[in-house]
Amino acid sequence: MALRKGERRRLELMRALGGPLLLPISAITPSVKQEVFLRHPAGEVLYGGAAGGGKSAALMLGAEQFVDEPGYSALLLRRTYPQLRMPGGLIPLSQDWYQGHAEWNQQASQWRFTGGATITFGHIQNEQDIYRYLGQEYQYIGFDELTQFTEQMYRYLFSRLRRAGRMNDVPLRMRGASNPGGIGHAWVKRRFVDPATAEPDSAFVKSLLHENPGLDQESYRSGLAKLHPVDRARLEYGDWDVTGEGVLFHRADLLGLLVPANYPVGEVQVRAWDLAATAPHEGNRDPDYTVGLLADHDPATGVTVIRDIVRDQLDPGDVDHLMRLTAEQDGQGVMIRVEQEGGSSGKAAARHVQRNLVRYAVESVHPTGDKVVRAMPFAAACANQFVRIVEAAWTMPYIDELSQFPDGAHDDQVDTSSAAHEALTSGVQPAVVTMPDAALRL
């Protein structure tokens, strides 16, 4: 396979510095791009781009590099357990490679090698699943199809990346493999692919279909040709820039609205809530979020500032607690707006919120029009630079959701943005209300 001049020089340097590439099992001979991935000294490396580039095999080869070291431990992850076991998945691939070289523990989904080294297969289906790895210790963690994971899942696993003193020669490696697209596309591109925003100790090794000699490339291309143009560009050409983003919000525009946390606060403030009442469970691993978005507005300049966001997947009792705690922190000068659904159930829910936040100004409103229509005024304000977004831990997930709307997995933050902007710019402000004690008995 031909390499560009820069790639060839990089591989030659890696070979000169690293010596022979040691693969204790050596089930396959790595391609040139896979070798670059395996030799790379960065702490975080993403291998990916086009479909069929040998991503899963690259992750497996990386996991086995140090299985001859006593006590070495590697973890390979997919989003769900069935994905690990499907044809062509990591577990069937490992059974082809490691049978006869290691002992398989079905219950633990783990291979144990001579000397005690292990390769374990796991999954993180929802945010709470990260804690199943609490107390574990790995020297290699590999995410297969990284863009199917959230950034929180990925970042938490760094806490499990550690080694004992006896393994000083074993590097700590966080590795990912993925095509463009998926719910994590934006953060993966930001962290690895875009040179302007990539993490200092990260690297991206781009793999393409024609660089995998073990694949029937013509039949693979024939299947890819039938895809939507956006999907085809991502899967056949590894294009991270082609966008399937919504028509209202554009990521480049939103990034231009970022301001520091000490940006002046406008004279009118509102906390808009979009309420859900379901924590992740077996029947729904990714329910809607409860979101409370704090925004303020300066009538003199017409600028609305997105100041703070609280966001979680919670049961009803926890939603009540979150709303009370947030209201206490915001203070009574911040009006509270909650969308009220139609019918008697919506009225009952509105009364419940008022009883829960009895000392605060709560306005219940009936949303009109569909979500896209309601989001248009806020989208126009963003496009015309009448919005600012404070830089904080929640900022990039917020921008990710806006830029994927209306086709993203969630739209709760979009809804609260629309509601807050409407409340701040409509000129209608509810008076501060102190509910009488009798209201608690309604």
Q: What is the pLDDT of residues 267-276, one digit of tens each?
A: 899 999 988 7
Q: What was the pLDDT predicted at 166?
A: 72
* pLDDT mean over 346-353: 74
The domains of the chain are located at 5-237, 251-441
Asked whether residue 94 carries a pLDDT value surpassing 90, the answer given is yes
* pLDDT mean over 157-186: 87
Of 50-54, 127-131, 195-199, the poorest mean pLDDT is in 50-54
At the fourth CATH level, which superfamily is domain 5-237?
P-loop containing nucleotide triphosphate hydrolases (3.40.50.300)
* pLDDT mean over 272-291: 76
* pLDDT mean over 208-225: 58
Of 30 and 390, the structure prediction assigns the larger pLDDT to 390
CA 271 to chain centre: 25
The model's pLDDT over 287-325, given as tens digits with 9 standing for 90+, comes to 788 999 999 999 999 999 999 999 988 888 888 889 999
Q: Across the chain, what does the average pLDDT equal?
A: 82
Of 261-265, 403-407, 427-431, the poorest mean pLDDT is in 427-431
* In the chain, % of residues over pLDDT 70: 78
Q: 388, 306 in Cβ contact below 8 A?
A: yes
The domains spanning 5-237 and 251-441 adopt the same CATH topology:
no
| 100 Cβ contact list (under 8 Å, min separation 6) | none
Question: What band does 433 get if pLDDT is binned at 50, 70 and 90?
Answer: very low
Q: What was the pLDDT predicted at 200?
A: 92
The CATH number of the structural domain formed by 251-441 is 3.30.420.240
Q: 185, 397 in Cβ contact below 8 A?
A: no
Of 146-150, 321-325, 330-334, 367-371, the poorest mean pLDDT is in 367-371
Q: What was the pLDDT predicted at 237?
A: 65
Q: What was the pLDDT predicted at 22?
A: 78
Asked whether residue 281 carries a pLDDT value surpassing 70, the answer given is no
Q: What was the pLDDT predicted at 196?
A: 85
* pLDDT mean over 337-355: 72
Integer CA distances (angstroms), 40 to 86, 101, 213, in order: 29, 26, 21
Amino acid at 220: Y
Of 112-126, 257-271, 314-328, the poorest mean pLDDT is in 314-328
* pLDDT mean over 70-95: 93
| 173 Cβ contact list (under 8 Å, min separation 6) | 43, 45, 62, 139, 140, 141, 161
Asked whether residue 50 carries a pLDDT value surpassing 70, the answer given is no
Asked whether residue 439 carries a pLDDT value surpassing 80, the answer given is no
Asked whether residue 156 carries a pLDDT value surpassing 70, the answer given is yes
Of 440 and 171, the structure prediction assigns the larger pLDDT to 171
